[in-house]
Amino acid sequence: MAKQKIVCVLYDDPVGGYPPQYARQGIPVLAAYPGGQTMPSPAAIDFVPGELLGSVSGGLGLRNFVESRGHSLVITADKDGPDSVLEKELVDADVVISQPFWPAYITADRIAKAPNLRLAITAGIGSDHVDLQAAIDRNITVCEVTYCNSISVAEHAVMQILALVRDYIPQYHLVVNGGWNIADAISRSYDIEGMSVGVVGSGRIGLAVLKRMKPFDVALHYTDRHRLPTQVEEELGLTFHSDVESLVKVCDVVSIHCPLHPETEHLFNDELIGKMKRGSYIVNTARGKICERNAIVKALETGQLAGYAGDVWFPQPPPKDHPWRTMPNHAMTPHTSGTSLSAQARYAAGVREILECWFDGRPIRDEYLIVQGGHLAGAGAHSYSEGDTTGGSDEATRFKT
């Protein structure tokens, strides 16, 4: 293959410098994903699993591999605005790699300025930061490392469901601030036992959340475009809802796990949130733009929502004055759930596997594909709809100022 230029956008190194001190020595070795999908299988890796790979100096462990094959690799965190390194380097790039945590928004405008671009790899899951319609129209392959961090996110979602219902964060702050007023500490704290918990999207993450919530003795609900096998419904005691309105009306907690695509953009708006039970909780670890920004703020202020948590925002990074940073009764994290040190090892290996295929002219696994050959393909054909959801992403430049 002719020399390829690869532009890789990763988040900044730790403030205290790279490498950081690691809390543990290594990570467990997993044999396969639930359901049997095989783990990423590159010919080799040049990194230590469990080390920080998702920041600029970690470089997804790709540099030696890419350069030894005679290709060039640019790694940058500078991704937003017309003067960014990304925008300058993209003009003659063949491949772009980006993580959803620090997304390189590959808009139609940027695609138009990158005539050589043929492959956009998501180091993670969720390729909505690419204008998929423009990728379809320009015959750019879009792929992601399906399953690499699905369980990581499911664990984070369960943590945030419990954090909201039990009202953990204020209690933690009370202790840190030297207080001990128990009445204050429990004024918004409930048991989840007996509540109704629903997921929107019962794919890899949604199903893993349902399985993890089952032992809490809650009533489990879900909605999805495709129904789960009857055996799974029976084992978990699931109630299926053919539409999201029906689900939100009966649930105390709603956890969102569908991709962001035109069907789901701003799905949780004033109208849908208005149909929820008063005092419900939303956990959104899918994509920030599935929820309408101001509708969430308003619902928390009026008490229609008792709490909101998640780790996904729009855009990313969100400006310093993004109202989700300061709205009441939230338990937000930055977009971290899918980039634990454990997850990074899997998606770094997955990106290497994809690049090995690309350089060797071998097919990329079907399960990794979102767009190929001018249409939605593989996992993308199952879970996405055509179109673009990157509109407004240029607001990410405001983080800098």
- Could you list the active site residues? 149, 287, 316, 335
Helix axes 150-166, 204-213, angle to 10 degrees: 50
Least CB distance from residue 153 to ligand NDP, whole Å?
4
Evaluate whether 204 touches 150 at the Cβ level (below 8 Å).
Answer: yes
357: region left, alpha or beta (phi > 0 left; psi from -120 to 50 alpha): alpha
345: region left, alpha or beta (phi > 0 left; psi from -120 to 50 alpha): alpha
Tell me which of 73, 135, 260, 396 binds ligand NDP, using CB under 6 A.
Answer: 260
Contacts for 205 with CB less than 8 Å, ≥ 6 apart:
150, 151, 153, 154, 157, 257, 285, 286
Of 23-31, 65-73, 253-261, 316-324, the window that binds ligand NDP (rule: CB under 6 A) is 253-261
Least CB distance from residue 186 to ligand NDP, whole Å?
30
Q: Render 351-366 in DSSP notation, one character per residue.
A: HHHHHHHHHHTPPPPG
CA 282-390-74 angle, 5° bins: 115
Contacts for 29 with CB less than 8 Å, ≥ 6 apart:
49
Nearer to ligand NDP, 42 or 124 (CB): 124
Nearer to ligand NDP, 173 or 382 (CB): 382
Nearer to ligand NDP, 114 or 273 (CB): 273
Interface with ligand NDP, residue 202, by CB under 6 A: yes
Tell me which of 122, 171, 223, 342 binds ligand NDP, using CB under 6 A.
Answer: 223
Least CB distance from residue 379 to ligand NDP, whole Å?
6
Tell me which of 5, 79, 110, 204 binds ligand NDP, using CB under 6 A.
Answer: 204
Determine if the peptide bond prior to 315 is cis (ω within 30°).
Answer: yes
Tell me the HSE value of 285 on the side-chain side, using a 13 A CA sphere.
Answer: 26
Tell me which of 54, 201, 315, 350 binds ligand NDP, using CB under 6 A.
Answer: 201
Number of residues binding to ligand NDP, judged by CB under 6 A: 34
Other C-beta atoms closer than 10 Å to the C-beta of 153 total 28
Residues 268-327 that bind ligand NDP (CB under 6 A): 285-287, 311-312
Nearer to ligand NDP, 4 or 264 (CB): 264
Contacts with ligand NDP, residue ranges (CB under 6 A): 124-126, 149-150, 153, 200-206, 223-226, 257-260, 263-264, 285-287, 311-312, 335, 337-338, 379, 382-383
